[in-house]
Chains A and B, each alone.
Chain A
Amino acid sequence: MEVTLLVQAADESFTILEKARVRAVDLMNTAAKLTSETRWMEEKRVRAIFRGARESRAGLQNFVVTFVILFVFWALLSGKYDAFHLSLGVICTGVVAWMGHELIFHNVRAGDMRVIAWRFLKYIPWLFHEIVMSNFHVARLVLSPRLPIDPNLMRYRTKLESDTSMVTLANSITLTPGTITIAIENGEFIVHALDRKVADDLNAGAMEDQVAHIFMEADHIYIQDVLDVARIFAALR
């Protein structure tokens, strides 16, 4: 009878472990699906590198997008939309875009531009909300008679990789009242913060995560974690 109980207990524990394994596999699949967009981009990029098509297509796409953006700017500036002025606009925009097309989009991989632009547009309302919240906080600090500020200069290590994302984060920090980016040295931000709460908000890293999400950087972590976890659960079977 003890043997039967023992076998029953072992059987139950095995079913529990089996259910845990199924749930872990589900979690893994969800995580993989959430980052599958990034992974698809990575695979496309790797394929394009092997095909050697990366550089030329990126150049043409950069030129066309720069041309369109500059032409919209010209049309906004010039109030006249007759054929002569528009043709002048096309020539001028063509010259400027041809000579400087890799200036605006430096090192943007072909195919990422649409995703990055869409995510950037979604980021702007969030940034606006942050600015309004910080405005209230700083106004309350400044208008109180005690002036409870605690200005300090902090160094902030960042996980972002490319120039453009670091500059976006620096500009967002400066636009948010209470913090000013002073310099960037070797991937470290030097930020002047007005008091402890604002500095702690910055250290929590919500803004940095958002900016990393826009430019699809520093999210390789998820796939690596998934792979590590998968090995542990495979050993449990």
Chain B
Amino acid sequence: MIHRGEDIIIRTISRMLIPFIQLYGLYVIMHGHYSPGGGFQGGVILGASLILLLITHGYHDARSRVPERVLTVFSGVGVFIYAGTGFLCLVLMGNFLDYAMLAKILHTDAAHARSLGILSVEIGVGMAVMAVMVSIFLDISTGGVLPGEEEEKQKTAEEA
């Protein structure tokens, strides 16, 4: 269980820095083809920012910002975008993940289509990595049982 820190300084500085860290993570994802970065690295930075929020503000306060269900959906959607782009290229009579075939629906030349295809794949990877990192952190730190679920389980055990 992650308790809320009593130190005002760390709490305030973290909450001011977190939007900048998240924006930097998104910058690293979007500019993967031009500067060092890409999907996985940006996802790690985004996940690190959410972990910072959880560490400094404690689980109860930060719970509304990092809900478990949304994280699960995010990881699934990330993988779906990755595989979906690949299958879209298959459907358009190309190989799996042959982004040049995307030029048919996007009406640009093959080079731009490849760039946009890679960008969409990186976004999918980033989303999945962020969600999985925060999920692993929550699992390890709370011992597998979320504080809200624990009370619910106790109530249902008493009723049964």
- A/B touching: CB–CB < 8 A: yes
Interface residue ranges, A against B (CB under 8 Å): 66, 70, 73-74, 77-78, 80, 85, 88-89, 92-93, 95-97, 99-100, 103-104, 106, 163-164, 166-167, 170-171, 181, 183-185
Q: Which residues in window 1-57 of B have CB below 8 A to A?
A: 6-9, 11-13, 15-16, 18-20, 22-24, 26-27, 30-31, 34
CB-based contact A88/B30 at 8 Å: yes
A168 (CB) vs chain B CBs: closest residue: B12
Tell me the smallest distance from the CB of A228 to a CB of chain B, in Å.
Answer: 33
Given A166-B8, A184-B9: A74 in contact with B19 (beta carbons within 8 A): no
**Contacting residues, chain B, for A104 (C-beta < 8 A):** 15-16, 19
Show 5 residue pairs from A and B whose CB-CB distance is below 8 angstroms, ordered by the A residue. A70-B23, A92-B26, A103-B15, A166-B8, A167-B9
A80-B96 Cα distance, complex, nearest whole Å: 31
Q: With A77-B27, A167-B13 in contact, is A184–B8 under 8 Å at CB?
A: yes
| Residues in A whose Cβ lies below 8 Å from that of B22 | 96, 100
B23 to A92, Cβ gap below 8 A?
yes
> Residue B23 contacts which of A73, A85, A167 (CB distance < 8 angstroms)?
A73
Contact B26 A103 (CB under 8 A): no
**Given A100-B22, A166-B8, A184-B7, is A74 in contact with B27 using a C-beta cutoff of 8 Å?**
yes
Q: Report whether A163 and B12 are in contact in the complex, using a CB–CB cutoff of 8 Å.
A: yes
Selected contact of A85 from candidates B9, B20, B30, CB within 8 Å: B30
Q: Do B16 and A70 have beta carbons less than 8 Å apart?
A: no
B6, B11, B30, most chain A CB atoms within 10 A: B30
- Name the residue of chain A whose CB is nearest to the CB of B19: A100
Distance in angstroms from B127 CB to nearest chain A CB is 12
The SS class assigned to the A binding surface is: helix
A163 to B99, CA, bound (A): 51
Chain B residues touching A, majority SS? helix
Q: How distant is the Cα of A183 from the Cα of B7 in the complex, in angstroms?
A: 7
Q: Which residues of A contact B8 (CB under 8 A)?
A: 163, 166-167, 184
Which A residues are in CB contact (< 8 Å) with B18? 100, 103
Q: Is B30 a contact of A170 with CB atoms below 8 Å?
A: no
Q: Which of B6, B19, B27 contacts A66 (CB 8 A)?
A: B19
Complex contact A106–B15 (CB within 8 A): yes
Give Cα distance in the complex from A106 to B57, angstroms. 14
Question: Which residue of chain A has the shortest Cβ distance to B8 in the bound complex?
Answer: A184
Residues in chain A near residue B30, CB distance under 8 A: 78, 85, 88-89, 92
Extra A-B contacts (8), CB below 8 Å, given A92-B26, A96-B23, A167-B8: A80-B34, A96-B19, A100-B22, A103-B16, A103-B18, A163-B12, A183-B9, A184-B8
The residue in B8, B16, B20 that gathers the most chain A C-beta atoms within 10 A of its C-beta is B8
Instruction: Tell me which residues across on chain B come within 8 A of A93, comparing CB atoms.
Output: 23
Whole-angstrom CA separation of A171 from B22 in the bound complex:
23
Bound-state CA distance A78–B6 (Å) is 37
Please give me the residue from chain A that is nearest to B22 by CB atom: A96
The closest CB in chain B to the CB of A185 belongs to B6
How many Å from the CB of A129 to the closest CB on chain B?
A: 24
Expressed in whole angstroms, the Cα–Cα distance for A19 and B34 within the complex equals 77
Smallest CB separation, A182 vs chain B (Å)? 10
